[in-house]
A and B are shown apart, each in its own frame.
Chain A
Amino acid sequence: MTRFAWLWLLVLLITAPAFSASLPKGLLEQDGRPAPPLRLATMDGKTTDIAALRGQWVLVHFWASWCVPCRREMPTLQGLSTVKPPLPIRLILVNTAETDDEVFAFLNIIAPDLDTLMDRDGQVTEHWQPRGLPASFLVDPEGRIRYLALGGRDWLSSGYLAFLRSLAAPVEPSSGSTDPAY
């Protein structure tokens, strides 16, 4: 092989997506199917429509207060908002089929800085078909599901932070956004 060929091979290796070969543990690559509709409101009535978040990566996290791994994972999701520089993702929490009282009692203690959308009858969760609760989907800027995080991840671990940073560059939030997270 010529010196040029070796040089090109080296360039290709260096410029290949950092996580194409090995994703952080617990993150599964998906087939890029379109994300199901998701238009829900918070307890305060602020509505978020995932269709309005096109152009940026969105982390959609389904949870319930009775689920034990949710209790461990939620503080790490809250911690993402304090990471500097800001991560190139938007976080959307979706509570599955619980009441305001149940959700408030949980979030107020476990992750008081987070707000959540309320899937009051559980039908939106059903359409997204998570493997269980908790479950997190990473939706790309085109609105396609690219990754699924198995329940109970530590989003502040170095592997996950590096992966999240490797996603698209930060996008300015659209004006009038009602995203309840950050």
Chain B
Amino acid sequence: MLLTGVGAGADAADDITAAPDGRREYRGQGLVMSVTARLPEQQFAFYSARGFPEDAVRRITQRCFLTIGIRNERNDIVWLELDEWRFLDGDGREHKRLKRDEWNALWKRINLAPAHRATFGWTQLPERRDLHPGESAGGNVTLAPPPSPFILEARFRTGDDGTGPVLRVRFENLICPRGDT
């Protein structure tokens, strides 16, 4: 099964709705998925308000933060596996997601306090997890800001062993404002 949602502003048959705050929401296939591209100012406000040091906040605001919400409204398990997601620009070039290990290595290098590492970690979307019926997951997915509008193609396996129908959701025309470089 392949169902494709398109970006806000497309035809009325869209599966994706857009809110004034920039949040896009997809509903279909028993899945609710939202994407919000954060402004560098929002990233700055969140982490600096929690006492993150300036160096860490600067590095955070240089990255594209997509706040993702997912809710499994199906009767079977949905697999959240970020390695199955693709970020593609208009020329079809893939932009790599920054993995949790890469952030952890950076925090180790700049000696970020354990409490801040923990907070940062819990604000990230899990990289791999099963979502039970009725379960939600939320958090940030990060990447270097693509220079132009880009597409998020998310793929979800389903079922206890992942052999159920594959769900695909596509968000187009995502824009990540560039932070201070």
Residues of A within 8 A of B (CB): 25-26, 28, 64, 66-69, 96-99, 102, 120-123, 125-126, 131-133, 150-152
Pair B129/A131 contact, Cβ less than 8 Å: yes
- Selected from B118, B134, B139, the residue in CB contact (under 8 A) with A121 is B118
**Which one of B114, B116, B126, B135 lies within 8 Å of A150 (CB-CB)?**
B135
- Shortest CB-to-CB span from B147 to chain A, Å, is 30
| Shortest Cβ gap from A130 to chain B (Å) | 9
Not counting A64-B122, A66-B50, A131-B135, a sample of 12 additional A-B residue pairs whose C-beta atoms are within 8 angstroms of each other reads: A26-B134, A96-B118, A96-B122, A97-B122, A121-B115, A122-B115, A122-B117, A122-B122, A123-B118, A132-B137, A132-B139, A150-B135
Q: Which of the residues A66, A67, A98, A132 comes within 8 Å of B126, measured between beta carbons?
A: A132
Question: A125: which B residues are within 8 A, CB to CB?
Answer: 118, 122
CA distance A66 to B46 in the complex (A): 9
Chain A residues closer than 8 Å to B42, beta-carbon distance: none
Given A26-B135, A69-B136, CB of A126 within 8 Å of CB of B46: no
Known A98-B50, A123-B114, A126-B118; contact A28-B123, beta-carbon cutoff 8 A: no
For residue B20, CB closer than 8 A to chain A, the reply is no
Residues of A within 8 A of B92 (CB): none
Task: Note all chain B residues with C-beta closer than 8 A to A121.
Answer: 113-115, 118
Residues of A contacting B51 in the complex (Cβ-Cβ under 8 angstroms): 99
Which of A26, A150, A152 has the most chain B CB atoms inside 10 A of its CB?
Answer: A150
**Contact at B134–A122, with CB atoms within 8 Å?**
no
